[in-house]
Amino acid sequence: MTITQREVTVGEITQGYINNDEQGVRGYNGKLDIRPPYQREFIYNEKEQQAVITTVLHGYPLNVMYWVKRSNDADCPYEVMDGQQRTLSLCEYVAGKFSYDFKNFFNQPEDIQRKILNYPLTVYVCEGDASEKLEWFQTINIAGKPLNEQEINNAIFAGPFVSDAKRHFSKSNCGAYRLGKDLVNGTPIRQDFLKTALVWMADHETRQGHRMSAVSYMSAHQHDPNANNLWSYFQNVLDWAITNFDLKKYKKIMKGLDWAWLYDTYGPPKTLDTVAIGKQISALIRDSEIQKQSGIIPYVLTGDERYLDLRAFPEDIKLKVWENQEHKCAICGKEFDFEFMEGDHITPWRDGGRTVVENCQMLCRECNRRKGSK
């Protein structure tokens, strides 16, 4: 791999700047691809954008940028390897997309405009094969805003599949966000929606007998012409969730669930009694014994109380009952120190038992295990 240094002004890099879905993100009079497939979305906040402009106006040195020289694209021969966020900040400001110190670029005096446009940027241009390019990309991105795991995977498995997947899952107002903003944790621009979709699809494939992880799924489909299967499955999962559970009423307990597992297990061809389920969910939401309300829907479908993290007896109740039982297990009658005994509901929660002193008995660990396994 060869690396050469060059100096490019802000005026040159912002000339011909475009940013749209059809033509991509280009600068340098169309010769620079600012967001190649392995790059993340724009994540600088307003304060960070302002800091870039402050650096330029004060004549401070801006960190070096790295470009890659393409060997097979005469129309757009360069791509940004490192410096995308700074490049976009400069281009967006000169294009009038945000203001600095309450002034748009076009509202600045001519001498300030010239100062910005003439500011020199130090760029290193590298030429090499794809593996060298990606290895260097991972190395130089240690500084600045660190790449997260999914952003690194996007770089490693760059190709038509990732490019199309990012169209669905990685834009600030993408289809995945519009559909799943109340059901999926995270933000699209940090790849949380794409990561969730890939994990769901990989788990789905594993449940179908094809053992797979999100990374192995990306590897297997790297050269697919699109990500239609991933997008369709994601839509099917969330459409099922929205159809069967009242999002307006239960939004608080629906976000972040493993909807793909629930869909694969309880979805078509099965039909849920949504009226009965709704009544059960409403009753459980009001139950003070439940410590983990996000487990209510999985519990309603599975019947597994472990999802609910039911309220345990506090130490003062357990100590009082242990004293009343004269330190003896309520089942086997043997005497135990307090630390070797556990509080147990005489009437189980599912039968209406509450976590109160009248419903508490102290059992030795062995008896409590035997009782719990029945």
Reported as a single tens digit per residue, the pLDDT across 149-165 is: 888 788 778 789 998 99
Looking at the fold, whether 138 and 204 belong to one and the same domain comes out as no
Q: Looking at 123, 146, 169, which one is the last position of a domain?
A: 146
Domain that holds residue 238: 148-246
DSSP 96: T
For residue 42 the two structure tokens come to 């724009």
* pLDDT the model gives residue 147: 66
Looking at the fold, whether 202 and 239 belong to one and the same domain comes out as yes
The residues near 334 (Cβ < 8 Å, ≥ 6 apart) are 328, 364
* pLDDT the model gives residue 266: 97
Tell whether 21 is covered by a domain: yes
Looking at the fold, whether 57 and 129 belong to one and the same domain comes out as yes
Q: Does residue 138 register a pLDDT over 90?
A: no
Tell whether 253 is covered by a domain: no
- Give the pLDDT band of residue 41 (cuts 50, 70, 90): low
Which residue's entry shows tokens 């790849």?
191
Looking at the fold, whether 129 and 221 belong to one and the same domain comes out as no
The residues near 19 (Cβ < 8 Å, ≥ 6 apart) are 25, 34, 88, 91, 92
Tell whether 56 is covered by a domain: yes
Mean pLDDT, to the nearest integer, of 95-123?
94
Tell whether 362 is covered by a domain: yes
Looking at the fold, whether 27 and 117 belong to one and the same domain comes out as yes
Looking at the fold, whether 34 and 156 belong to one and the same domain comes out as no
CA-closest candidate to residue 124, choices 63, 71, 72, 74? 63
- Give the pLDDT band of residue 290 (cuts 50, 70, 90): very high
Tell whether 88 is covered by a domain: yes
Q: Does residue 70 register a pLDDT over 90?
A: no
307-354 pLDDT per residue, tens: 999 999 999 999 999 999 999 999 999 999 999 999 999 999 988 999
Do residues 129 and 191 touch, judged by C-beta distance below 8 A? no
Looking at the fold, whether 133 and 205 belong to one and the same domain comes out as no
For residue 281 the two structure tokens come to 């969910």
* pLDDT the model gives residue 71: 75
Looking at the fold, whether 137 and 153 belong to one and the same domain comes out as no
Q: Looking at 113, 146, 179, which one is the last position of a domain?
A: 146
Tell whether 298 is covered by a domain: no
Q: Which one is predicted more confidently, 149 or 42? A: 149
Which residue's entry shows tokens 């944790």?
185
Q: Looking at 246, 267, 283, which one is the last position of a domain?
A: 246
* pLDDT the model gives residue 126: 85
Q: Which one is predicted more confidently, 37 or 255? A: 255
* pLDDT the model gives residue 357: 95
DSSP 61: P
3-state secondary structure of 22: coil
How far apart are the C-alpha atoms of 45 and 83, rounded to whole Å?
A: 15
Rg of the chain (C-alpha set): 29
229-239 pLDDT per residue, tens: 999 999 999 99
Amino acid (1-letter code) at residue 159: G
Which residue's entry shows tokens 């009038």?
96
* pLDDT the model gives residue 209: 94
CA-closest candidate to residue 97, choices 55, 65, 54, 49? 49
* Percent of the chain at pLDDT exceeding 70: 93
Angle of CA points 161, 167, 169, to nearest 5°:
95
Q: Does residue 145 register a pLDDT over 70?
A: no
Cα dihedral 147→151→157→160 (10° resolution):
-140
Looking at the fold, whether 128 and 8 belong to one and the same domain comes out as yes
Provide the residue count of the chain: 374
Mean pLDDT, to the nearest integer, of 127-137?
70
Looking at the fold, whether 135 and 34 belong to one and the same domain comes out as yes
Tell whether 270 is covered by a domain: no
* pLDDT the model gives residue 237: 98
Q: Does residue 1 register a pLDDT over 90?
A: no
Looking at the fold, whether 136 and 17 belong to one and the same domain comes out as yes
- Give the pLDDT band of residue 38 (cuts 50, 70, 90): low
Mean pLDDT, to the nearest integer, of 57-82?
86
Q: Which one is predicted more confidently, 70 or 144? A: 70
* pLDDT the model gives residue 239: 98
**47-56, 61-70, 184-193, 205-214: range with lowest mean pLDDT:** 61-70
What average pLDDT does the chain have? 90
Q: For residue 121, list its beta bridge partners.
A: 8
Cα dihedral 14→16→21→25 (10° resolution):
-40
Tell whether 218 is covered by a domain: yes
Q: Does residue 144 register a pLDDT over 60?
A: no
Characterise 360 by phi-psi region: left (phi > 0), alpha (psi -120 to 50), beta (else): beta
Q: Does residue 135 register a pLDDT over 90?
A: no
Q: Which one is predicted more confidently, 2 or 259? A: 259
How far apart are the C-alpha atoms of 302 and 291, rounded to whole Å?
A: 18
* pLDDT the model gives residue 23: 72
Domains identified in the chain, total number:
3
* pLDDT the model gives residue 43: 72
Q: Write out the E strands in the chain.
A: 2-9, 18-20, 24-27, 32-33, 65-69, 78-82, 120-127, 341-345, 360-364
What is the value of pTM for the model shown? 0.65
Q: Which one is predicted more confidently, 306 or 198? A: 198
Looking at the fold, whether 25 and 132 belong to one and the same domain comes out as yes
* Percent of the chain at pLDDT exceeding 90: 72
